Amino acid sequence: MTDTAKITLGDVSVDSPVLKGSVGPDVIDIRKLYAQTGAFTYDPGFTSTASCESEITYIDGDEGVLLHRGYAIGDLAEQSSFMEVCYLLLNGELPSGDELADFDNTITRHTMLHEQLATFYRGFRRDAHPMAIMCGVVGALSAFYHDSTEIHDPRQRMIASHRLIAKMPTIAAMAYKYSVGQPFVYPRNDLSYTGNFLRMTFGVPAEEYVVNPVVERALDRIFILHADHEQNASTSTVRLAGSSGANPFACIAAGIACLWGPAHGGANEAALNMLREIGRPERIPEYIARAKDKDDPFRLMGFGHRVYKNYDPRATVMQKTVREVFDALKVNDPVFEVALQLEEMALNDPYFVEKKLFPNVDFYSGVILSAIGFPTTMFTALFALARTVGWVAQWNEMISDPAQKIGRPRQLYTGPTQRAYVPVDKR
């Protein structure tokens, strides 16, 4: 028997079905509430609202658990590869050896961009933020790949998904190359997805670029850690944009725009800037005090999360990866020591303990990316690159869901009630 939740409003009482997921909190189905009671629910920021049904990713924020298709993020980060995780997110199961080789080959063979897109870059100022370029270029893909924009054809949807995953490193690397005034570097099919991206970013035609395997593995792991995160702001943006039937390239461009904000994907850039500003461990207490001060808008960047009220499991892997990269590249950046001590001090401070504020994935990722050589402006572009698979997997799931409707929230209107128009000479 289905459980029901009784909602009473004045004289009207309705029974709303309570839906059960495979794991996680129950969900009250209020789809008929307005028709039955004439009232809406109010939930700005969606803190208590599930916007869709999904089989892709599960998060238990209290326990610090993140599962993709049932597999723990720690296991995937340790034992899997980004290509394998892409396959898993898109198809629901881990690939066999042959399936993985086939998928890898498909992605590798979609990495080149239409040559005319190179001229598109030249329309941007050299100091354009890579995310500004990414929004523009990814949106423009729909003008170049007309044969994969029929969203009701599953095959075209999959081709668009492969194209987006494959081309994103090329697009991001070209944005970087453009900003530093170096020639674009074409993809090479004998390199891994991540090795290829490193070469397209840091390689120059004047000499052969040798991929450092430790850096390649670290970056691949960072991509895994960012691959999907259920219905976060940018993914919800992709779903909302896609709910109107917009083409996949336009939807992913919308996701990139949302990700850019400092409360979301921009946080790793903001976290590293903050750590550099703090500069040395002696200054940490001053910044902790500012973060706690209600009259100061400053927040500890890379701390806190809407869903995680425990240690973000991705931050654990990140912290370990910082050490590996620093050892491999012989980096000695005081910023890591500042990060470690700041984390320890915050985790022992009653303000952060009571509010359950823990380091999130962004707290350490900037430190690693900076050690690898990426400028801070590229951090969010890297996040977009990795999250593309999550966006397309969620978008595909939405389009194939028979219950899918255009997303259209309602509102609590508090503006003026109807009033008479007064001509300008009478005001």
Residues designated as active site: 305, 362
Site for ligand ACO in 85-144 (CB under 6 A): none
User: How long a stretch of residues is the chain?
Assistant: 427
Shortest gap between Cβ of 291 and ligand ACO (angstroms)? 4
Residue 215 or residue 346: which is nearer to ligand ACO going by CB? 346
Question: Which residue lies nearer to ligand ACO by CB, 147 or 295?
Answer: 295
Q: What angle do CA 213, 216, 217 make, to 5 degrees?
A: 85
- Shortest distance, CB of residue 125 to ligand ACO, whole angstroms? 27
Least distance in Å: CB of 390 to ligand ACO?
A: 12
Query: Which CB, 103 or 379, lies closer to ligand ACO?
Result: 379
CB of 72 to ligand ACO, least distance (A): 18
The rounded distance, in Å, linking the Cα atoms of 64 and 75 is: 14
Q: Which is nearer to ligand ACO, 48 or 400 (CB)?
A: 48
Q: Does 222 bind ligand ACO (CB under 6 A)?
A: no
Q: Which 345-374 residues touch ligand ACO, going by CB under 6 A? A: 355, 357, 360-362
Minimum distance of ligand ACO from residue 355's CB (angstroms) = 4
Q: How far is the CB of 334 from ligand ACO (least distance, A)?
A: 21
Instruction: Give the residue at shortest CB distance from ligand ACO.
Output: 304
Nearer Cβ to ligand ACO, position 34 or 298? Answer: 298
Question: Residue 186: which residues within 8 A CB-CB, separation 6 or more?
Answer: 112, 200
Backbone angles phi, psi at 238, to 5 degrees: -60, -45
Footprint of ligand ACO on 282-321 (CB under 6 A): 291, 299-306
Measured from the CB atom, the residue of 200 and 307 that comes closer to ligand ACO is 307
3-state secondary structure of 59: strand
Number of residues that bind ligand ACO (CB under 6 A): 17
Within 245-274, which residues bind ligand ACO (CB under 6 A)?
A: 263-264, 267
Per-residue exposure over 245-275, b if at least 16 CB sit within 10 Å of its own CB, e if not: ebbbbbbbbbbbbbbbeeebbbbbbbbbebb
In degrees and rounded to multiples of 5, residue 12 shows phi and psi of: -95, 130
CB-count exposure of residue 181 (10 Å: 0-12, 13-18, 19+): exposed
Q: Report in angstroms how near the CB of residue 300 gets to ligand ACO at its nearest.
A: 4
The residues facing 27 across adjacent strands are 19
Q: Give the angle subtended at the CA of 338 by the CAs of 333 and 340, to the nearest 5°.
A: 105
Q: Is 272 or 325 the residue whose CB approaches ligand ACO more closely?
A: 272
If 0-12 CB within 10 Å is exposed, 13-18 middle and 19+ buried, where does residue 197 land?
Answer: buried
- 368: amino acid identity, one letter: I
CB within 8 A of 27, min separation 6: which ones?
Answer: 18, 19, 20, 21, 50
CA distance 272 to 339: 9
- x/- site string to ligand ACO, residues 23 to 52, per CB under 6 A? ------------------------------
Burial 377-400 (b: 16+ CB within 10 A, else e): bbbbbbbbbbbbbbbbbbbbbbbe
In angstroms, give the least distance from the CB of 339 to ligand ACO: 13
Residues 6+ away with beta carbon under 8 Å from 232: 264
Closest of 23, 19, 21, 18 to residue 7, by C-alpha: 18
C-alpha–C-alpha distance, residues 255 and 251, integer Å: 6
Of 249 and 303, CB closest to ligand ACO: 303
Site residues (vs ligand ACO, CB under 6 A)? 263-264, 267, 291, 299-306, 355, 357, 360-362
